[in-house]
Amino acid sequence: MQIKKKLRLATVVGAAGAAMALSLVAPSVSGAATAAPSGTLTYAEAPGASPNYIFPFMSCTYFSVNNINQFQQLLYRPLYWFGLGNSAAVVDKSQVGANNPNGLSLAAAPVMSNGNKTVTIHMGNYKFMSGQAVNGQSVQFFLNLYKADVAVKKGADYCGYNAGYGIPDQVASVTHTAKAVTIKFTTAVNPNWILYNYLSEITPLPSTWDTIGAGTEGCSTGAYGAARTNSDCIAVLKYLQAKALNLSGYASSFWQSGVDGPYTATHFDTLGNVTLVPNKTYMGPQHSQLAVVKEIPFSTSTAEENALRAGTVDLGYVDPSVLTSPSPGPLKTGANWGPVANRYNLVTGSSWGFSYAAYNFASGSPEAKYLNQLYIRQALQDGVNQAGIIAKLDKGYGLVNYSPLPYGISPTLGHQPKQLYPYNLSVASALLKNHGWTKSGGNLTCTKPGTAASECGKGINMGDVLTITYLYGGGTPSFTAEVNAIVSAWQSLGMKATATAEPFNQVIADCSAGKTTWSVCDWGAGWIYAPDYYPSGEWGFTPGAGFNIGAYNNPAMTAIIKTTTFGTAKLTQYASYFEQQLPVMFQPNGEGTGEIIKTLKSNIGFAPNPLQNFNPEYFHF
């Protein structure tokens, strides 16, 4: 759902180990909340990324890790909770609140029926702070709001909207009883896909929010999709959106009435200072053991590192570039950064996503004719020295990446393919030579135009010089060095490759669909599958998809993707085909590097969470 931005800095320090996550399936509520909460945990927000939106139904402007994972979900729990743990294996249906009325999820695992055309959700025993049960009506409230926004405003106010796919576009009806919600689809859907991508995004909303200031509207109680419901919902939406703009009002009882998570906010300001205290009425498996959780803002990662050196934060992060001792292997930590080693422990973890740079296949792009050739994409990938980049620029805190599936994906979702195109410049060179490219004046020039196997390929003319324009988001020295390492390797093959840096926002604007001034676009890290966790490819690799910025259009790929969203196929075939076809340039997946103060303890271990979730309720001093 989100493109990653400077992921290595933004990674949230979450908690838990895989083994412990399993034990969460059957916790005892009475055993959890015994000792009185004590101590203050100070948490470092990512540089320049502070929470600024409280209402969990939000447009793309606010759809970010700092709003969702670091703030909203501590207050307002999603219907289905994913990712308590350092291993991505926990992103698995079998551990999502299955038959567990008070798991981290608010409902039992969804039950599919009618040939995967109906899903029934049985609600747990959670309560809002207002006293209302988190029940079928609170789920219907969210879905009614969603439907109304799509019907009236084309989904402009909810960033998770994917035209034509899933909820609400494939939904025929939604009905609820006090303890259950039933959603009927117009076609069969893949149960994993609908759970991971759509049910996961639902946040049950309290009836106290079904208002336009005075009285109660009909958005939470009306029939799904009815005209009256839609108009009520749009009015409510407008009221709540306006109210959410007043950041100083976030600690008010209005917003706190909807709290069903382990924390409630007592202070919030525009600079990004957040103070959370335990929600005493929380019904989940683990009550907060901390008396206060404070989130504090940072201007730069250097400022945050200074705070670590002074010992003023408890949970923070370092940029791998300052680390002096490399990681001994994937997801292992080397010695901690000298200036903080006496106070903090270093932890590392992967991310539920994959890093890539997009290729531009748009017909207007002058360099698309090169990128349309599979052998050229293979030669480009052969030039990416992932192991070298990880070892040198990431200090070992990175993972070789050759698949759209996240590291450590559960076999129930699909299997990782084998690596097909490791770094090998001589293979790349031979590929180009065998397709009629010869070096003249240092540049590769096409000498055999045509479409035969030994010729340059469709659209490429005699004398064309193999040119690649690489646009990337500058600002981070290690990433800049990474891009230039890749481009330098391509240049050494004889390609006329140039790299241009732009600020992050400018890159996104310039790389957006339809622009033809780039042939490779690299905003820094790729894609993270959150909060739609199912790593299928409809978001970026089907024609017309929201983030198909390179105008990739391959009917075979589209067909395979549909088998994973509407059919019940695993993601294995998709991943293999994706890797073989290379619709993107794979680059190393960065690991997060977090710092945990040594006095902090956790019931379930420490590790950055792949989904960037933050579960401070498991920490204590």
Q: Which stretch binds other proteins (CB under 8 A): 126-134, 211-219, 362-370, 508-516?
A: 508-516
Say whether residue 480 binds other proteins (CB under 8 A): yes
Residue choice 216, 484, 516, 572 for contact with other proteins (CB under 8 A): 484
Residue choice 94, 114, 177, 270 for contact with other proteins (CB under 8 A): 270
Say whether residue 492 binds other proteins (CB under 8 A): yes
Say whether residue 98 binds other proteins (CB under 8 A): no
Q: Which residues pair with 174 in a beta bridge?
A: 183
Q: How many of the chain's residues bind other proteins (CB under 8 A)?
A: 82
In the region spanning residues 444 to 473, those forming contacts with other proteins, defined by CB under 8 A, are: none
Residue choice 296, 379, 432, 551 for contact with other proteins (CB under 8 A): 296
d(CA 58, CA 77): 15
Say whether residue 590 binds other proteins (CB under 8 A): no
In the region spanning residues 121 to 160, those forming contacts with other proteins, defined by CB under 8 A, are: 154, 156, 159-160
CB of 59 to other proteins, least distance (A): 7
434 or 488: whose CB is closer to other proteins? 488
Q: Which stretch binds other proteins (CB under 8 A): 120-128, 171-179, 384-392, 574-582?
A: 384-392
218 or 334: whose CB is closer to other proteins? 334
Residue choice 30, 253, 299, 342 for contact with other proteins (CB under 8 A): 299
d(CA 103, CA 85): 14
272 or 531: whose CB is closer to other proteins? 272
String marking each residue 536-575 x if it binds other proteins according to CB under 8 A: ---x------xx----------------------------
CB of 551 to other proteins, least distance (A): 13
Helix, strand and coil content of the chain, in percent to the nearest 5, comes to: 30, 20, 50
Count of CA atoms in the C-beta half-sphere (13 A) of 253:
2
In the region spanning residues 9 to 68, those forming contacts with other proteins, defined by CB under 8 A, are: 48, 52-53, 59-63
d(CA 379, CA 362): 20
d(CA 608, CA 14): 5
Say whether residue 516 binds other proteins (CB under 8 A): no
Output the CA–CA distances (angstroms, integers) from residue 590 to 302, 351, 524, in the order listed. 19, 8, 10
In the region spanning residues 197 to 256, those forming contacts with other proteins, defined by CB under 8 A, are: 244-245, 247
Residue choice 239, 254, 375, 504 for contact with other proteins (CB under 8 A): 504
Do β-strands 353-354 and 274-278 pair in parallel, antiparallel, or remain unpaired? unpaired
Q: Which stretch binds other proteins (CB under 8 A): 1-9, 349-357, 461-469, 598-606?
A: 1-9
What HEC string does 230-296 produce? HHHHHHHHHHHHHHHCCHHHCCCHHHHCCCCCCEEEEEECCCCCEEEEECCCCCCCCCCCCCEEEEE
Residue choice 116, 118, 273, 563 for contact with other proteins (CB under 8 A): 273
Residue choice 350, 491, 519, 589 for contact with other proteins (CB under 8 A): 491
| 304: three-class secondary structure by DSSP | helix
Count of CA atoms in the C-beta half-sphere (13 A) of 226:
14
Contacts 24+ apart (CB under 8 A), 97-104: 97/124, 98/25, 100/25, 100/26, 100/124, 101/125, 102/27, 102/29, 102/126, 102/283, 102/284, 102/285, 103/24, 103/25, 103/27, 103/284, 103/285, 104/24, 104/77, 104/284, 104/285
Say whether residue 186 binds other proteins (CB under 8 A): no
Residue choice 97, 272, 353, 436 for contact with other proteins (CB under 8 A): 272
Residue choice 19, 111, 509, 559 for contact with other proteins (CB under 8 A): 509
Residues 6+ apart with CB under 8 A from 178: 123, 133, 135, 136, 137
Say whether residue 422 binds other proteins (CB under 8 A): no
Say whether residue 500 binds other proteins (CB under 8 A): yes
136 or 404: whose CB is closer to other proteins? 404
- The alpha-carbon radius of gyration of the chain (Å, integer) is 25
Characterize 29-68 residue by residue with b for buried, 16 or more Cβ atoms within 10 angstroms of its Cβ, and e for exposed.
Answer: eeebbeeebeeebbbbbbbebbbbbbbbbbbeebbbbbbb
| 127: three-class secondary structure by DSSP | strand
Q: Which residues pair with 513 in a beta bridge?
A: none
- Residue 437 has phi, psi (to 5 degrees) of -100, 130
CB of 102 to other proteins, least distance (A): 34
Say whether residue 508 binds other proteins (CB under 8 A): yes
Residue choice 162, 197, 576, 612 for contact with other proteins (CB under 8 A): 162
